[in-house]
Amino acid sequence: MAKGESPLKQFEIQPLVELNLFGQNISFTNSSLWMTITTIFILAFFTIPFLKSKKTNSVEDLYPSRLQVAAEMGFNFINNLITDTAGKEGRKYFPLVFSLFMFILFGNLFGMIPYSFTFTSHIIVTFGLALGVFIFVTVLGFIKHGLKFFSFFVIPGLPIYMLPLLIPIEVISYLSRPISLAVRLFANMLAGHTLLKVFAGFVSALGFFGILPLVFIVALTGLEILIAFLQAYVFAILTCLYINDALHLH
């Protein structure tokens, strides 16, 4: 980091290709670049190992390659997650949860590469994802239950005079889902990356004693990679829970 640069500079959006459509700025930015890289990487990660195994007919083909095992591990992980939280009916929505998980996971992990850009550290990206989940779950609830979906906001076995107070609370609690989902991922990523940069600034400022923050940064990088995984996992598990709520109501 050059002297005088703010630790927040890493989050700046820079247009790479200027584009305009009907007066709207739709430039291809560094954020879009890293989203594209993430998507292409995920596609490659899940197609290459399976393309290779079809070429010959030798015995070795019966053993999965390392890449294939890694891809299947990811598949199994989310598969178990959905079956555990949303039951068998939830398995239908596997593609949604899986692509969300992979996109966020690799977005977070690619953000850990120096000089790259972490698109999940922008609240509009995480909020867009969370809002997509929210709309999907609400529509799913209405499709499955029709107008009975509104009974989701009524806790069964409650005295009737409590309803005017508790229904607004339940509605607010329901509406707060996408925001809490978005804020959690965004705050984790923003805080972690800012902290890394702040401590990186200490290294050059302290001279010889800069070795102390340097050691800390190494530890912090490990922690950040763990958080990158953890946040993708939390996003996926909450999506599963919301799907479960929409399918079963209470």
Partner 1 sequence: MQNNEEEKQSKNKESSLKGLSFAYRISSELLAAMVVSVIIGLTLDKFFDSKPIGLITLIILGFFAGLLNIYRLIRRIENSK
Site residues (CB under 8 A) for partner 1, limited to 179-208: 179-180, 183-184, 187-188
- Which among 19-27, 104-112, 117-125, 219-227 is the span making contact with partner 1, rule CB under 8 A? 219-227
Residue closer to partner 1 (CB basis): 33 or 183: 183
Residues in CB range of 108: below 8 A, 6 or more apart: 118, 120, 189, 227, 228, 229, 231, 232
Distances in Å between the Cα of 156 and the Cα atoms of 137, 175, 190, 212 are: 21, 20, 40, 57
Q: Is 215 one of the binding residues for partner 1 (CB under 8 A)? A: no
Q: Is 176 one of the binding residues for partner 1 (CB under 8 A)? A: yes
Rounded to the nearest whole angstrom, what is the least distance from the CB of residue 180 to partner 1 in the complex? Answer: 3
Rounded to the nearest whole angstrom, what is the least distance from the CB of residue 237 to partner 1 in the complex? Answer: 10
Nearest CA-CA partner of 133 in 37, 36, 208, 236: 236
Distance of CA 220 to the CA centre of its chain: 20
Distance of CA 218 to the CA centre of its chain: 24
Element (H, E) at 21: strand 20-21
Site residues (CB under 8 A) for partner 1, limited to 221-250: 223, 226-227, 230, 234
Q: Is 172 one of the binding residues for partner 1 (CB under 8 A)? A: yes
Rounded to the nearest whole angstrom, what is the least distance from the CB of residue 176 to partner 1 in the complex? Answer: 4
Rounded to the nearest whole angstrom, what is the least distance from the CB of residue 49 to partner 1 in the complex? Answer: 31
Strand 20-21 versus strand 28-29 pairing type = unpaired
* Contacts with partner 1, residue ranges (CB under 8 A): 168-170, 172-173, 175-177, 179-180, 183-184, 187-188, 223, 226-227, 230, 234
